[in-house]
Structure 1
Amino acid sequence: MTTTLQFTKGQGTGNDFVLFTDADGETDLDGVAVRALTDRRFGVGGDGVIRAVRSAALPAGAAALADDATAEWFMDYRNADGSVAEMCGNGVRVFARYLTERGLVELAEGETLAVGTRAGVRRVQRDGSGFRVDLGVWSLGDGEPTVRARELHAARPGLSISVGNPHVVVALASDDELDGLDLTWVPVLDPAPEAGANVEFVVPSDPLVVDGVGHIRMRVHERGSGETLSCGTGAAAAALAVRHWAGPGAPLDWWVAVPGGVLGVHVSAGDDGEHVSLSGPAELVYSGALAL
Structure 2
Amino acid sequence: MTTQPDALVSTAPTALAGVAFTKGHGTGNDFVLVTDRTGSLEIAADQVSAICDRHRGIGADGLIRAVPSRHLPEGRALLRSDPSAEWFMDYRNADGSVSEMCGNGVRVFVHLLVSTGLLALADGATASIATRGGIKVVERSADGYSVDMGPWEFVYPDVAAARATDSLVEASGLEVPRPALSISMGNPHTVVALAEPAELEATRLFDAPVVQPAPVDGTNVEFVVPRDPLVHDGVGQVTMRVYERGVGETLSCGTGACAAAAATRFWAGAGAPLAWRIEVPGGVVGVRFHAGPDGREHVSLSGPAVLVATGTLL
Q: TM-score range by the shorter chain?
A: over 0.9
Alignment of 1:222-233 (within 5 A): 222-233=244-255
For residues 28 and 82 of structure 1, the distance between their equivalents in structure 2, rounded to whole angstroms, comes to 12
Write out the 4+ residue segments of structure 1 that deviate beyond 2 Å after TM superposition. Answer: none
Which ranges in structure 2 are unaligned for 5 or more consecutive residues?
A: 1-13, 160-165
For residues 104 and 253 of structure 1, the distance between their equivalents in structure 2, rounded to whole angstroms, comes to 32
1:110 and 2:132 equivalent? no
- SS of the residue aligned with 1:7? strand
- SS of the residue aligned with 2:19? strand
Alignment-derived partner of residue 181 in structure 1: 203
Alignment-derived partner of residue 99 in structure 1: 113
Alignment of 1:52-201 (within 5 A): 52-142=66-156, 143=159, 144-201=166-223
Alignment-derived partner of residue 275 in structure 1: 298
TM-score by length of 2: 0.91
For residues 143 and 119 of structure 2, the distance between their equivalents in structure 1, rounded to whole angstroms, comes to 17
Report the CA distance between 1:60 and its aligned residue. 1.6
1:14 and 2:28 equivalent? yes
Q: Which amino acid aligns with 1:49?
A: L
Report the CA distance between 1:229 and its aligned residue. 0.2
Q: Which amino acid aligns with 1:257?
A: E
Aligned match for 2:233, one of 198, 211, 214: 211
Alignment-derived partner of residue 5 in structure 2: none
Q: Which amino acid aligns with 1:175?
A: P
- SS of the residue aligned with 1:60? helix
After superposition, what is the alpha-carbon deviation per residue over 1:127-157, rounded to whole angstroms, capped at 9, x for unaligned?
2221000000111111511110001111111
Alpha carbons 1:127, 1:279 under 8 Å: kept = no
Q: Which amino acid aligns with 1:238?
A: A
For residues 307 and 232 of structure 2, the distance between their equivalents in structure 1, rounded to whole angstroms, comes to 32
For residues 207 and 63 of structure 1, the distance between their equivalents in structure 2, rounded to whole angstroms, comes to 46
Aligned match for 1:235, one of 257, 260, 264: 257
Report the CA distance between 1:239 and its aligned residue. 0.7
Q: Indicate the larger mover: 20-29 or 224-233.
A: 20-29
Q: Which amino acid aligns with 2:116?
A: R
Q: Indicate the larger mover: 270-279 or 88-97.
A: 270-279
For residues 137 and 216 of structure 1, the distance between their equivalents in structure 2, rounded to whole angstroms, comes to 20
Alignment-derived partner of residue 55 in structure 2: 41
Alpha carbons 1:137, 1:272 under 8 Å: kept = no
Report the CA distance between 1:106 and its aligned residue. 0.2
For residues 16 and 235 of structure 1, the distance between their equivalents in structure 2, rounded to whole angstroms, comes to 16
Alpha carbons 1:63, 1:120 under 8 Å: kept = no
Q: % of aligned pairs identical?
A: 58
Alignment-derived partner of residue 262 in structure 1: 284
Q: Indicate the larger mover: 142-151 or 10-19.
A: 142-151
Q: Which amino acid aligns with 2:189?
A: H
Alignment-derived partner of residue 244 in structure 1: 266
Alignment-derived partner of residue 42 in structure 2: 28
Which ranges in structure 1 are unaligned for 5 or more consecutive residues?
A: none
Report the CA distance between 1:59 and its aligned residue. 1.2
Alpha carbons 1:48, 1:80 under 8 Å: kept = yes
